[in-house]
Amino acid sequence: MTVFKDKNGNEISAEHFFKDMKPSPPAKGKQKIMENYTKLVMKRLYGEDILVFFYTTYDLSVADLMPYRGIFRDAEMGPFLIRDTKVWLKNPICSVTYDGLLYTPDSLPGHAWQTIVHEVTHFEIGMEGYYDPDEYYELRHPKKFKEIFEKNLRKVDDLRKEFNKEVGWNEDFVYRDEEDE
C-alpha cells in the first residue's frame, strides 16, 4: 500500500495528499456525449459503473507517454492521471482516460465508438505482458481480446446508432481500421 507523507515526513491520508490537485476538467460538448455512452456501454455489457476522464494540453508529457486513444484502469489501479485520484477516492471504481487532444469538445474522430467499446472490453479482458529476447517489456492484447471486442460491438450496436445521431453522424456509420482487424 502506498504511504503518503508531508514535507516533514509525517504520514498523511490520501485525501489530504490529493486535496490541492485539480482533477481533469469536466467533459464538454462531444466529450460529454462520449463520456455518457462510455457509461451506458459499461452498464449494458458488465452492469458496472465507470469514471471517465480526458487528458488535455495541461498533460502534454502524458500525451508523449500515452500514444493511445484511451487507457482503461481497474478499480484497484486508480485513474491513469494522478490528479484524478481525488475524484476516484470518492468512488473507487474502474476508469478510462481518453486523449482529450484527439476527442475534443467540438470534434470526435470516426473511431470514437470503437474506442469506447474497446476500452470498456478491458473490464473483461486485460493486457498481457511479454518480454522479447532483449528483455524489452511489451504489452499486447491477448488473442481472445478481438473475439470479445467483436461480440461487444454487436451487443451494443443499438447504442452505436444513438451515439452516431447524437454526435451528428449518419446512424449507419461504422468505422473500421487496422487496429480493429
Q: How many CA atoms lie within 13 A of 82 on its CB side?
A: 8
- Measured at the CA of 100, the angle between CA 64 and CA 71, to 5 degrees, comes to 65
Query: Each residue of 14-71: pLDDT tens digit?
Result: 665 555 567 788 899 999 999 999 999 999 999 999 999 998 755 545 445 555 788 8
Query: Each residue of 127-152: pLDDT tens digit?
Result: 877 767 776 666 778 889 999 999 99
Residue 106: what pLDDT? 96
Average pLDDT score, the chain = 83
Euclidean distance between CA atoms 120 and 76, whole angstroms: 16
Inter-CA distances, 15 with 2, 4, 7, 20, 47, Å: 13, 10, 16, 10, 28
Euclidean distance between CA atoms 161 and 151, whole angstroms: 16
Residue 63: what pLDDT? 47
Residue 20: what pLDDT? 59
Mean pLDDT of 155-171: 96
Mean pLDDT of 93-108: 92
More confident site: 96 or 16: 96
List, in sequence order, every residue forming a beta bridge with 5; answer none if it has no partner: 11
Euclidean distance between CA atoms 84 and 113, whole angstroms: 24
Residue 181: what pLDDT? 45
Euclidean distance between CA atoms 24 and 123, whole angstroms: 22
Euclidean distance between CA atoms 114 and 177, whole angstroms: 9
One-character DSSP codes across 109-163? -TTHHHHHHHHHHTTTS--EEEE-TT--EEEE--HHHHHHHHHHHHHTHHHHHHH
Q: How many CA atoms lie within 13 A of 135 on its CB side?
A: 0
More confident site: 11 or 6: 11
Q: 4-8, 115-119, 146-150: which has the minimum mean pLDDT?
A: 4-8
Confirm whether pTM is higher than 0.75.
Answer: yes
Q: How many CA atoms lie within 13 A of 27 on its CB side?
A: 22
Residue 81: what pLDDT? 78
3-state secondary structure of 12: strand
